[in-house]
Structure formats: structure tokens, C-alpha cells
Amino acid sequence: MNKTIRLLQAHHSSRSYKVDPIPEEILEAIIESARRAPTSTNSHEISLVVVRNSESRARIAEIAGGQPWIAQAPVFIAVIADLYKTGLGVKKAGAEQVFQRSLEGILAAVSDVGIAMATLMTAARALGLGVVPIGGIRRDPQAMIDLLELPPNTFPVDGVVLGYVAEESPQKPRMLIESFRHEEKYHPEALKPAIDAYDRTLQEYWQKIGRTDGLSWSANMAQQYGTFSRLIKSVAQKQGFTIEV
């Protein structure tokens, strides 16, 4: 099998890191890979904030709900939806930017964040580093905005931990392919059997690694998706992101 395909299919999050620093040339190669990733309409609407300061990483670990690997690993990269940057270009051309006030604008920016995140993680793993994506920075986006001194029309969407792995983690099983790949049209009838099977598989996985608090996929979704946060909406609106049209 092609080594790139093997790398992609072997993805897993690592949560135990050495304190060894990442050589600058390796970090530069990872960041340059993400800079070369595509963005909607060539907007360049993504910015990265590289955090190596130990106190800042410890603060991000707190913001993200108590994730010690953020403080443990030598580098954290925050991936920012950056329509402040695009706004400067719009202003230079003599117009007013309104894109951040549309659903399309928000979806485009978040999609581009996802592409940048995937590129960062793949490049890092290709160069021998471990990674773990961090969506928990959205638990308190205002704290992240303050810490990183982000301007208006920006939002800290995700982040990724980078470092050399101290203790490797097992790969978490995935749901059956029938829940993911649909031929010609969407097939909802395939989902319930796949979910039932995955609930059993995930519980077996938790038992295997000794996680007594591990939930089934369904129970986890009920916990995570059964509520919503008004905090993100209020902070996003404060930053300039609204849906008006």
C-alpha cells in the first residue's frame, strides 16, 4: 500500500508527549504545508497562531476543559478563521466586507479551517510527530481571543497539539463503512445497524484499554449533541460573525 495512504489510515490521537522541542525546520515544513492548502475563492482566510510559551499552553489546557497534553507537548497551533485579513483586502479595493455576516461566509471559513487542520496533522505525522486535534478551545472562545489577542472578524475554531510521543495510544475503531459511503444517493436504512454495531465495538474498545468511564457512541452523542452552547454564538457575534442574509 502507498505510504501516504498507510499514514492517513493509521491516524490516531496521541495524548502522551515528551518535552523535547520540535526543530524549527520541521515546524516550518508543517506550517508551510498548511499555508499551501486550498482556501475558498483563494481567500487566504486562515491564520495560525503558534504557541510555545509554557504558561500560555497551560492556560489553553484549562480553557479546553483540562487537557494536560496541551501543556505537556512543546507546540500548540491555534487555527483561526480570519476574515479580518480578507477585510483589509476588501477595504483596499474600495469596498466594505459583509461576507462575515452570511451563513456562506461562516461555512466557507470553517471548511477552510478543517482543510488546514487535516494538512497540519498529516504533515506532522509524516515527519514523525504525534498530534491531537483540540476543539475544546471553543469551550471559552473569549478566553482564547484574549490570550491570542485576536482582532475583530476572527474566531479560534480549532487547534492541534504537536510533539514527540512518549507513550503511543491505540487507534480508536471507526463506524462501519456503510455509515460513511453512500452510492448514488443517501441510504438512511444503513445507519441504524451500523450504529448498533459501533456501540458494541466502542464499548469493547473502552474495556480493552481500561476506560471504565467510556460511553457508547450513542450515549456520547446524546451527551454532546443533546445540548447547545449560547456562549459561542454571543462571542462570535461580538467578533463580527452574524447571519443576516
- 156-213 residue pLDDT tens: 999 999 999 999 989 999 999 999 999 999 999 999 999 999 999 999 999 999 999 9
Number of domains in the chain: 2
pLDDT band at residue 229 under the 50/70/90 scheme: confident
The answer to whether residues 131 and 182 belong to one domain is: no
The answer to whether residues 202 and 132 belong to one domain is: no
The answer to whether residues 164 and 198 belong to one domain is: no
The answer to whether residues 97 and 10 belong to one domain is: yes
pTM, to two decimals: 0.95
**Positive/negative CA dihedral, 22, 26, 28, 33:** negative
Domain at 153, CATH number: 3.40.109.10
pLDDT at residue 245 above 70?
no
Residue 244 in any domain: the answer is no
Using an 8 Å Cβ cutoff, are 69 and 16 in contact? yes
The answer to whether residues 185 and 163 belong to one domain is: no
